[in-house]
């Protein structure tokens, strides 16, 4: 029998989590998963899910070891092992074959096709299954917030991203913004695009900036789709956004396009119903949405509470009050209401800028109890 | 003879710098100074300047040691030892008496009364004097930017401080702002006040918020003075700012006050000439100015390039575009000008907020070469 110790289990799970993060952002829309194989408290191998369609974390760690090493070992994996044929065969099969004695799981898989099934199969095959502490389990869920939202709410995960001056402007009054942020920040912004399957942009910003909205600094098999919020304006189809080989969508009831597909918006209280929009694009297969601007588009997503994360690149520059607002919307605050409260989740320096990530406070993640 | 090694000198000087920082903000308007006494590469004692009027860093370190210990030791001090009678007797006297063999200096004293004099006196008394590397010397200057500015430019050091939402608002449209920032941030803001001898505030903000503008979370012998920028408005003398025992100044040509002293502004291009204001208050004895708002006052100081540092407390909240701007001024940017560039100097998390410090890029510090 393997001696069990919760503190040690938590420790190895945190290592597996570190592995999981290495997959960012290449696994999307699949979750980030990491694993560690341990015997007699020694790490034998580590693995992670490297890219969408590639081997799962368990497979990555298991295939590095000999039959002898694997026998009676403990596998730590941040997400419940899959039990179905997807892009790869079920991991539970390989675990059973490897004669691994015990599997410690970070969190159950929120995908209804897999939920608790992996655990059941392992147990049936006399493999011990254990779980980590609540705190560590939360971390295992947090790294896959987009995946958990997709699976449990059937909605895409929405990231609002903008680079602003310290007075929250994205351009001077002439719409000039080259470059508010440093080069490394711009490269980082492309990494965020890489984790997205759709970039959302407003008509004004698209016409004024004429951006490519593509992933340039990283290799990618597929450029993210683009959706232009343009209920009224007619979008000229010679803009740079149409140069890339990918789908362009336009949210409009008014116009017809040859290079873009039209999504019909629902209008509610005179505004586009963004919740309806998100439901529609989820059904179309989109899982990770990046809202890049401009101010009015970002303002609408915030006002309608249709976002999960705000990724702010704050640059050490002051533009002045005649500049263009990064967030352009009033939220009808009451006299004693200071504003929409967020949670500061992470921050780091990127060159001369500071990157700050905000999520909603008290995010109600689907905490699927495993124990 | 003592063996000299620049790398080791730099190392001990960085330790002395760490000591120096402990004095913040109680030494103001005096500089932060730290010292370390070393013999045979062993640290015998450390010291720092603890409060205005208190023993200097050298004295603090020296008085901890016996005569025997001090003999032939090396003193590291971040600022050239003083050679004149101020609030305390000259440090050079004590160093000579202590039979310290060698003094390593972080930077020369920019005060014309002391500049290079300490070094000369020590050398005359056969004490070796050495300096650290350029990089470390820069750090020794940087911790005392206010003092260096005072001494070399004969102007107060100006810190602009505000707490804003991520969309750079300081209040909702009803001027409600309780509380944008967390409690720890507010305590931190009082520490900034403690380092100031004058708080500057605009008439509008003063009347709307009716703040006390005092130091509450820390013990202090003297509350900072307040200067109200009120060229037109008549300030009611029953506001909270008048409750404290301290000087209140009002910048105006129009009105007379019984509880406040009037400073007459110079008007240039229809605006108050802030450079003239800074010159005047320097002559009155003010060395460290904290500009606390509102948006127009902060905007004017930025526009007229009358600031040295911006201390931003960014809170995870969104107020919306109908809120009150933290910086309210247009800078007449050209078409291809993105804005006023700053340098991000430091940042840290304070509770749920993030504190970010900006200075001007390429700050031309008076780099007094010592070697």
Taking only the tens place, the pLDDT of each residue in A153-170 is 999 999 999 999 999 999
The reported pTM is 0.90
Q: pLDDT confidence of A93, banded at 50, 70, 90?
A: very high
Percentage of chain A beyond pLDDT 70 is 97
- If you average pLDDT over every residue of chain A, what do you get? 93
What residue of B is the nearest CA neighbor of A346? B349
Say whether B180 and A339 touch across the interface (CB within 8 A).
Answer: yes
Looking at residue A370, what is its pLDDT?
53
Which residues of chain A lie closer than 8 angstroms to B310, CB-CB?
Answer: 166
Least confident of B12-16, B110-114, B161-165, B347-351: B110-114
Q: Say what the pLDDT of residue B178 is.
A: 84
Residue of B nearest to A339 (CA): B319
- By CA distance, what is B177's nearest residue in A? A338
Using the beta-carbon criterion (under 8 Å), do A327 and B173 form an inter-chain contact?
A: no
Residue contact B180–A337, C-beta within 8 A: no
Give the distance from CA B324 to its chain's centroid.
28
Q: For the beta carbon of residue A18, count every other beta carbon within 10 angstroms.
A: 14
Main-chain phi, psi angles of B40, to 5 degrees: 50, 45
Within 10 angstroms of residue A261's Cβ, the number of other Cβ atoms is: 12
User: What integer pLDDT is reported at residue B2 of this predicted model?
Assistant: 65
With 70 as the cut, is the pLDDT of residue A365 above it? no
pLDDT at B366 over 70: no
Closest alpha carbon within chain A to B360: A316
pLDDT in tens, B323-338: 999 999 999 999 999 8
Phi-psi category of residue A197: left, alpha or beta, with phi > 0 → left and psi -120 to 50 → alpha: alpha
**Rounded to a whole number, what is the distance in Å from the CA of B205 to chain A's nearest CA?**
17
CA–CA distance, A331 with A324 (Å, rounded to integer): 18
Buried b (16+ CB within 10 A) or exposed e, B207-225: eebebebbbeeeeeeebbb
Q: What angle do CA B300, B303, B308 make, to 5 degrees?
A: 90
What pLDDT does B1 receive? Answer: 59
Higher pLDDT, B179 or A233: A233
CB contact under 8 A, B338 and A329: no
Rounded alpha-carbon distances, angstroms, from residue B82 to A12, B96, B113, B116:
57, 13, 9, 9
Q: Is the pLDDT of residue B72 over 80?
A: yes
A247 vs A368, higher pLDDT: A247
Reported as a pLDDT band with limits 50, 70 and 90, residue A181 is confident
Over 90: is that where the pLDDT of B255 sits?
Answer: yes
User: Is B321 within 8 Å of A173 when comparing Cβ atoms?
Assistant: no
What is the spatial distance between Cα B47 and Cα B44, in angstroms, rounded to a whole number?
Answer: 11
Query: Strand locations in B66-196, DSSP E?
Result: 74-79, 102-107, 128-131, 157-164, 169-171
Tell me what pLDDT residue A28 has.
87
Using 50, 70 and 90 to split pLDDT, how confident is the model at B368?
low
B122/B170 Cα distance (integer angstroms): 53
Query: Which tokens hold the place of A128?
Result: 């011990």
Contacts of B299 in chain A (CB under 8 A): 320-321
Work out whether the CA dihedral B286, B289, B292, B293 comes out positive or negative. Answer: positive
d(CA B31, CA B52): 9
Q: What residues in B contact A320, CB-CB < 8 Å?
A: 299, 327, 329-331, 333, 339-340
Total CB pairs under 8 A between chain A and B: 161
Closest residue in chain B to residue A172, using alpha carbons only:
B338
Determine the residue among B161, B164, B166 to mutate to test chain A binding: the one whose Cβ has the most chain A Cβ atoms within 10 Å.
B166
What's residue B113's pLDDT? Answer: 86
- DSSP letters spanning A173-186: TT---TTSS-HHHH
Nearest to A339 among B165, B326, B335 (CB): B165
Beta bridge partners of A164: A314
Q: What is the enclosing helix (H) or strand (E) of A48?
A: strand A42-48
Binning pLDDT at 50, 70 and 90, where does residue A113 land? Answer: confident
The secondary element (H helix, E strand) that includes residue B276 is helix B274-283
CB contact under 8 A, A335 and B167: no
Look at residue A136 in the predicted model and tell me its pLDDT. Answer: 95
Q: What is the pLDDT of residue B362?
A: 66
- Map residue A242 onto helix, strand or coil: helix
What 3-state DSSP class applies to A334? coil
Q: Residue B367: pLDDT above 60?
A: no
Q: Give the model's confidence band at B66: pLDDT under 50 very low, under 70 low, under 90 confident, else very high.
A: very high
Per the structure block, which two tokens stand in for B266?
A: 């110079």
Enclosing H/E stretch for A350: strand A343-350
* Token representation of residue B46: 């450390």
Name the pLDDT band for B306 (thresholds 50, 70, 90). Answer: very high
| Residue located via tokens 């680079």 | A163
Contacts of A300 in chain B (CB under 8 A): none
Cis link prior to A261 (omega < 30° from 0)? no
Region B72-78 average pLDDT: 97
Distance, CA of B293 to CA of B303 (rounded, Å): 14
Tell me the C-alpha to C-alpha distance, in Å, between residue B279 and each of B111, B224, B353: 18, 18, 35
Mutation for testing the A interface, residue in B320, B323, B331, B363 having most A CBs under 10 Å: B320
Q: How far is it, in rounded angstroms, from Cα A78 to Cα A91?
A: 13
Q: How confident is the model at residue B370 (pLDDT cuts 50, 70, 90)?
A: low
Of B316, B322, B329, the CB nearest to A341: B316
* A248-251 and A261-263 beta bridge pairing: parallel
Q: What pLDDT, on the 0 to 100 scale, is given for residue A86?
A: 78
Tens-place pLDDT, residues B172-199: 999 998 888 899 999 999 999 999 999 9
Nearest to B352 among A177, A333, A344 (CB): A344
Give yes or no for residue A366 having a pLDDT over 80: no
% of chain B residues with pLDDT over 70? 97
User: Shortest CA distance to B105 belongs to which of B19, B186, B39, B13?
Assistant: B13
User: What are φ and ψ of residue A158, in 5° steps?
Assistant: -115, 120
Least confident among A58-62, A294-298, B366-370: B366-370
Render the burial of B236-259: b for 16+ CB within 10 Å, e for the rest: eeebebbebebbbbbbbeeeebee
Percentage of chain B lying above the pLDDT 90 cut: 86
Q: Which of A316, A331, A342 is opposite residue B316, by nearest beta carbon?
A: A342
What does the pLDDT read at residue A87?
77
Using pLDDT thresholds of 50, 70 and 90, give the confidence band for residue B120. Answer: very high
Report in angstroms the alpha-carbon separations of B7 from A54, B10, B40, B76, B132. Answer: 50, 5, 15, 13, 9
Cβ within 8 Å of residue B266, ≥6 positions away: B272, B273, B276, B277
With beta carbons under 8 A apart, name residues in chain B contacting A312. 166
Contact B354 A340 (CB under 8 A): no
Q: Which residue of A has its CA nearest to B166?
A: A168
Q: Give the chain A residue whose CA is nearest to the CA of B316.
A: A342
Higher pLDDT, A221 or A96: A96
Q: Residue B312: its chain A contacts at CB < 8 A?
A: 166
Closest C-alpha among A360, A314, A311 to residue A340: A360
Structure-block tokens of residue B224: 């900072």
pLDDT above 80 (res A367): no
Between A67-71, A178-182, B289-293, B337-341, the lowest mean confidence (pLDDT) is in A178-182
Q: β-strands A317-318, B340-341: how paired?
A: antiparallel
Which of B58, B283, B328, B351 is an active site residue?
B58
Nearest by CB to B338, from A178, A339, A353: name it: A178
Name which of B338, B352, B353 is nearest A176 (Cβ-Cβ). B338
Packing angle of the helix pair A145-153, A134-142 (nearest 10 deg)? 90
Do the Cβ atoms of A177 and B338 come within 8 Å? yes
Instruction: List CB contacts (< 8 A) between B307 and chain A.
Output: none
* pLDDT above 60: residue B369: no
Work out the pLDDT band at A179, boundaries 50, 70, 90: confident
Cβ A331–B318 below 8 Å, yes or no? yes
Instruction: For residue A205, give the 3-state DSSP assignment.
Output: helix
CA distance A84 to chain B (A): 41
- Per-residue model confidence (pLDDT) at position A307: 97
User: Model confidence at B361, in pLDDT bands (50, 70, 90)?
Assistant: confident
Q: For residue A214, give how far its alpha carbon lies from the nearest alpha carbon of chain B (Å).
A: 23
Averaged over B236-247, what is the pLDDT?
96
Q: Radius of gyration (Cα) for chain A, nearest Å? A: 23
Verify whether the Cβ–Cβ distance B178 to A338 is below 8 Å. Answer: yes
The residues, ordered by sequence, that sit 6+ positions from B140 with a Cβ below 8 Å of its Cβ are B13, B17, B78, B79, B106, B107, B132
d(CA A355, CA A316): 11
- In chain A, the residue whose alpha carbon lies closest to the alpha carbon of B326 is A167
What share of chain A in percent tops pLDDT 90?
Answer: 86
A233-260: average pLDDT? 96
Mean per-residue pLDDT of chain B: 93
Residue B33 in tokens: 């100074």
Residues of A in contact with B356 (CB under 8 A): 166, 314, 354
More confident residue, A87 or A91: A91
**CA–CA separation, B301 vs B312, rounded Å?**
15
Which chain A residues have a beta carbon less than 8 Å from that of B333?
A: 172-173, 319-320
Q: Is it the case that residue A362 has pLDDT exceeding 70?
A: no
Pick the catalytic residue from A19, A58, A80, A292: A58
The model's confidence at residue B100, banded by pLDDT at 50, 70 and 90, is very high
Catalytic residue flag (residue A80): no
Reported as a pLDDT band with limits 50, 70 and 90, residue B363 is low
Q: Show residues of chain B in contact with A340, CB under 8 Å.
A: 317-320
Question: For residue A255, what are the contacts with CB-CB under 8 A and spacing of at least 6?
Answer: A230, A234, A235, A262
């Amino acid at each position: 029998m393997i001696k069990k110790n919760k503190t040690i289990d938590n420790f190895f799970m945190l290592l597996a989590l570190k592995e999981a993060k290495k997959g960012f952002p290449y696994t999307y829309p699949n979750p980030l998963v990491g694993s560690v194989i341990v015997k007699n408290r020694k790490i034998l191998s580590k693995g992670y899910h490297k890219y969408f369609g590639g081997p799962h974390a368990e497979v990555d760690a298991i295939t590095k070891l000999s039959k002898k090493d694997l026998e009676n070992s403990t596998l730590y994996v941040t997400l419940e092992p899959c039990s179905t044929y997807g892009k790869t065969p079920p991991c539970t099969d390989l675990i059973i074959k490897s004669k691994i004695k015990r599997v410690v799981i970070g969190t159950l898989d929120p995908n209804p096709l897999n939920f608790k099934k992996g655990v059941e199969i392992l147990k049936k095959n006399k493999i011990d299954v254990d779980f980590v502490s609540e705190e560590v389990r939360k971390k295992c869920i947090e790294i896959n917030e987009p995946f958990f939202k997709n699976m449990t709410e059937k909605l895409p995960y929405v990231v609002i991203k903008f680079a602003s001056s310290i007075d929250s402007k994205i351009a001077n009054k002439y719409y000039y913004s080259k470059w508010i942020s440093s080069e490394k920040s711009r490269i980082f912004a492309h990494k965020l695009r890489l984790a997205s399957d759709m970039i959302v942009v407003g008509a004004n910003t698209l016409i004024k900036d004429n951006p490519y909205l593509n992933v340039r600094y990283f290799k990618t098999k597929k450029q993210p789709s683009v959706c232009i919020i343009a209920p009224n304006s007619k979008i000229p189809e010679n803009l740079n956004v149409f140069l890339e080989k990918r789908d362009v969508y336009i949210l409009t009831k008014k116009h017809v396009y040859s290079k873009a597909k039209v999504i019909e918006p629902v209008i509610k209280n005179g505004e586009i119903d963004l919740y309806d929009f998100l439901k529609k694009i989820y059904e179309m297969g989109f899982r990770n949405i990046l809202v890049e601007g401009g101010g009015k588009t970002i303002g609408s997503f915030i006002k309608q509470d249709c976002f999960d994360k705000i990724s702010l690149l704050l640059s050490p520059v002051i533009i002045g009050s005649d500049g263009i607002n990064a967030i352009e919307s009033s939220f009808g605050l009451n006299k004693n209401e200071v504003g929409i409260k967020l949670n500061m989740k992470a921050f780091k320096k990127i060159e001369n800028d500071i990157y700050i990530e905000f999520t909603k406070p008290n995010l109600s993640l689907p905490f699927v109890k495993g124990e």
